[in-house]
Amino acid sequence: MSERIDHRLVLPPGWARIPLDERAPAASSAIVNRAVQNSPIGSRSQVRRFVSNQLREVVQGARSVSGVDLYLPVELVAGAPLALSIAVSAPQLPESENSAADALLAFAARGGATAVEVGGRLAVRQVGEAPAVVGGDGQLKVPESRRISYAIVPPTGDRLLIVTGSMLRIPTANADRVLDALEQVFDAMALSVRFAPAAAASATGGVA
């Protein structure tokens, strides 16, 4: 097992963390219960099923890419939910890459990437767009989305820490403006990442 990578991420009010280990079920249940309590009494059973199923899919997706932490907004902003989720992962390096620096070069070579600095550490920011997913009945299943990833070389240098924000383009008249605002929120959170022994922040994650 690789050496532990301790990192800290500042969360704005109204966000929750799901550690993607044995604590995930309890953290997910707390989010589901909160959503149920804030919903009308007559629709609580439907809300519980919907939020539970959505969380299960998001958690499984984050784990499939070596995710270690998942961050989700749990409060409404101006009466609407934020269509943004953040996953932190630390995948093992491919055999062809001998260090995190090599992996960072490979990450940057994918295109759409720019060099940045996160907490005094070398990093690359990459932006990608995903098309909408339409079902066989012609109905929209998943809206178009934007995915932004920060690949950061941690002090240990044996793996990259990758912070990825996924934001949906909700089909509304001001969709572009909302998406740009979500991007700014994610960038601010990603740039807050610090590695131990940095000063404590409002959320702490670890990579085993």
**DSSP string of the chain, one letter each residue:** -PPPEEEE----TTEEEEESSTTHHHHHHHHHHHHHHTS-GGGHHHHHHHHHHHHHHHHHHHHHTTEEEEEEE-S-BTTB---EEEEEE-PPPPTT--SHHHHHHHHHTTSSEEEEEETTEEEEEEEEEE--EE-TTS-EEE--EEEEEEEE--TT-SS-EEEEEEEE--SSTTHHHHHHHHHHHHHHHHTT-EETTSPP-S-EEEE-
Q: Which of 108-112, 151-155, 166-170, 184-188 has the lowest mean pLDDT?
A: 108-112
Higher pLDDT, 5 or 66: 66
Q: What is the pLDDT of residues 69-111, one digit of tens each?
A: 999 988 877 766 788 899 999 887 777 767 788 888 888 887 7
Residue 157 has pLDDT above 90, yes or no: no
CATH number of 5-17+68-207: 3.40.1000
pTM of the complete model beyond 0.85: no
| Average of per-residue pLDDT values in the chain | 82
Q: What is the pLDDT of residues 120-146, one digit of tens each?
A: 899 999 998 887 777 777 766 667 888
pLDDT at 3: 43
pLDDT at 124: 93
pLDDT at 156: 75
